[in-house]
Amino acid sequence: METKVGRIKLGPQGQEISEQGLGCSSMSAFYGPPKREPDMINLIHHAINSGVTFLDTFDVYGPHTNDILLGKALKDIRDRIELATKFGACIVDGRREFRGDPAYVREACEGGLKRLGVENIDLYYQHRVDTRFPSKSRFQPENLGHNKHLFERVNEMARRKGCSPITACISLDPSSRGWDDVCPNTSNH
């Protein structure tokens, strides 16, 4: 009997993603040596065929080789998945550097689109905060209540779904949007 993964809405705009995602970092980097490309492409296709259609990568994975791998796996099936990738860290002279300047963000996005072989990314977000570009709202006392509320909502979803509690580091500017676009109302899931 084959089990299909359910779907949930991500935010108020109606974007739907699979309830379970596939983080692809260990396919090309971290947690041991890179894995064999044909095996990873088969794994990605198996995940998609099982309903895991929310795939996550980052240009630092490899670096860049994870994007290329995912691009090969998604050839001719891009319309079946939701694609997430990140910016915020890069390798400069063999050292990791956190960047959030507009020129880097654009360069990282355009490079990711090219390596992935896609025309759009469904979710593009900041993986590490560049503290050289201060957010007017980050870590301000008036936002502690919002951050605690978000943390509690994410943990409540994890408890209801029988998952391990998670720890997340999210950099958001709550003055630019409501919190429900990040973490949907958990009573509906």
- Residue given tokens 């998670």 in the structure block: 166
DSSP characters over 12-43 = TTTEEEESSEEE-HHHHSSSSSPPPHHHHHHH
The whole-angstrom separation of Cα 96 and Cα 129 is 13
Check if 31 is active-site: no
Give strand pairing partners of 84.
56, 123
- Residue 164 corresponds to which tokens in the numbers above? 């391990």
Catalytic annotation, pick one of 61, 104, 124, 125: 61
Q: Under the phi-then-psi rule, with left for phi > 0, alpha for psi from -120 to 50, and beta for the rest, what region is 55?
A: beta
Strand 21-23 and strand 54-56: pairing? parallel
Residues annotated as catalytic are: 61
